[in-house]
Structure 1
Amino acid sequence: MIEAAMIWNEPNNKSHWDPELDPDWSRFANMAILAADAIASENPAVTKILGGISPIDADFMALMKGYGVLDHVDAVGVHGFPLDWNLWQIQEWPQKIGEISTITELPVWVSEVGVSSFGAEEVQLWGLRRSAELLLGNASRVQWYSLYDLPREWGATTRHREAEGSSYYRHFYMGLLREDGTPKPALEEFL
């Protein structure tokens, strides 16, 4: 059973939306409204979430509110990976959620949070524990990214692989299970 539908993924991230084609995000906003309304007409019980924004940006959320998008969704999603990609520290999670909560009274879902084991599996274990401490009770819903490491032969979705350098390879180490299915130390903590 589908209980929720996320409208887009990281629309304010250049890897997932081209700001040159839609510099003021008006086309995105219109598409999001149409999608939310289509979901509601098909099944009003499905929770509609404005796609997880990354970076977490209150100005972007205010823009979406100004376009009326937030009147058509039931929750807003944010994505954060402060130990791997974001330019803020892990202890800033409550502040980041608070910034979005000042824009909207809608529930804030952390629809992607994760820590890679690229540097060390112990770092992932610590990051999972710390993320849980900071997020549980502050976000309406928290979804861990990801269960499995990505297979190395897959390419990660990014428009700037060359610019990312070694941080690109962190995409492949986000799972609680290794690519071969064996558990990492963080899995037991997660369960």
Structure 2
Amino acid sequence: MIEAAKIWNEPNNKSHWDPEIDPGWSLFAETAIAAGQAIRAEDANLPRVLGGISPIDPAFILNMRDKGVLDHVDVVAVHGFPLDWNLWQISEWPNKIDEIRAVVPDKPIWVTEAGVSSFGAEEVQAWGVKRTAELLVDKVPRVHWYSLYDLPREWEATTRHREAEGSSYYRHFYMGLLRQDGTPKPSLEAYAPFAARMGLCQWFHYEDHRLDDAVAWMKRLGVRHLRTGLSWADSFRPDADRWFDRMMTAVQDFDVTVTFCFTPEHLGIAPHHTSPPKDKMQFAEFCARMIRRYGGGTIAPGVAAE
């Protein structure tokens, strides 16, 4: 069921890790090392992925190397959105991969999020799908398109400053191949020929109403590789294991890269999901429990918590 375990999401992005609390990423490094060790102790063969960096920054990877993190991960991941947020052109994707490969020549580079919004025009997104696939599917072992669904407008995007970001914020709501109501955009047809080689990244919120339809769409398209997340913060919700069981059972036919992230407010140095945890071992223990629960194969819904 689980193809790989990803340690955090975009740790060099202030919307996902607070650089004011941890300006040199020393606390992140300690947290990532503890998680990597815990995952390895549960499954010696499961690839551990360093949470996809955004922006793509070789200096951050060198920092992680110097702090010992790269000794406890097997894959380095990157995220890129050149038509929406990055200050580089889409044709530069291969160069961006090579910049990271130059500082970690001994590890695979995965693109665990690549996307284009339809905020400006759905035709632009359709072109972006095709061009991204042309540039990346033969360049790296894994590419995950972000995402299958548009983010519902009544939800909030996971960013630091929300509406104050202007149009940059609203682009988050238009990254899907499907609109919020589930109807296809032109980009779905553009994606279909690449579905077996370019996976999807789809986050499922707690009790996400889109889960079953998403699985049906992915099977119809022939998707093989899925990236999703198991939220540490959500693990403290009522019946969290029941929801995790349902989600992981639904996606069991795919090769899943599961991302562990989001600090519970009561366990952070600050009460926010971007905060470093007070105790890194609590995050490591969550990762280990999820690997024990889902790493060995299918899971029966309602299995007792460990």
Report what 1:188 is aligned to. Answer: 189
Give, in angstroms, the shift of residue 166 of structure 1: 1.1
Conserved? CA contact 1:3–1:45, under 8 Å? no
Report what 1:150 is aligned to. Answer: 151
Report what 2:278 is aligned to. Answer: none
Identity %: 71
Q: TM-score, normalised by structure 2?
A: 0.61
Residue 5 (1) aligns with residue 27 (2) = no
Give, in angstroms, the shift of residue 164 of structure 1: 1.6
Greater relative contact order (Cα 8 A, min sep 6): structure 1 or 2?
2
Report what 1:114 is aligned to. Answer: 115
**Secondary structure of 2:62's partner?**
helix
Report what 2:253 is aligned to. Answer: none
Report what 2:166 is aligned to. Answer: 165
Q: TM-score, normalised by structure 1?
A: 0.97
The alignment yields a C-alpha RMSD, in angstroms, of 0.9
Q: Which amino acid aligns with 2:57?
A: D
Report what 1:133 is aligned to. Answer: 134
Report matched runs for 1:1-191 at 5 Å: 1-104=1-104, 105-191=106-192
Q: Deviations over 1:60-97 (max 9, x none)?
A: 00110111111111101100000011111111101110
Conserved? CA contact 2:163–2:170, under 8 Å? no
Greater Rg, structure 1 or structure 2?
Answer: 2
Range that drifts further, 174-183 or 156-165 = 156-165
Q: Deviations over 1:17-61 (max 9, x none)?
A: 111111111110111011011011111222110000000000000
Give, in angstroms, the shift of residue 163 of structure 1: 3.9
Q: Which amino acid aligns with 2:95?
A: Q
Tell me, which stretches of 5 or more residues in structure 1 are unaligned? none
Detail structure 1 runs of 4+ shifted over 6 Å in the superposition.
none
